[in-house]
Copies of this chain bind each other. A is one copy, B any other.
């Protein structure tokens, strides 16, 4: 349903950024490079299995992420951002910057440095191309089972 709304420059972002879970998936892939379904499940703060599956397929349809078999473990699917997805990095960077300025967000020191140094986008890109690189952020807070 492309609808009748192409006059505003941010409308095409709405389906991604109008949704909390899509945003979290993108953030996680951007910070870590590759992730399997299971890793995303435990990383995102308590996303349900059906929601994750739904968002992954929508993001894949939108050409923002892509999946492929894990060459080392045939059972797993590895998800990563496409070029189009990686290009969302500047948006995330500005979000991180805003949060740090206006709310008491406490990103990891490493992330702060990246944002300051303007290398966030570049690092996110490298991470999607080279899976040997470590994540930008620790494995995740892993929210307590509510």
Contacts and interface: CB of A to CB of B under 8 A. Distances in A.
Contacts of A102: 12, 84, 87
A86 to B, nearest CB: 11
A53 interface: no
Interface stretch (A33-41, A66-74, A104-112, A122-130): A104-112
A85 to B, nearest CB: 9
A100 interface: yes
Interface in A88-115: 88, 90-108, 111-112, 115
Copies in the complex: 2
Interface in A1-30: 4-14, 17-21, 23-24, 27
State the main secondary structure of chain A at its contact with B: helix
A73 to B, nearest CB: 27
Interface residues of A, number: 50
A144 interface: yes
Nearest to A28: B8
A143 interface: yes
The 4 closest A-B CB pairs, nearest first, are A18-B20, A9-B107, A9-B96, A12-B103
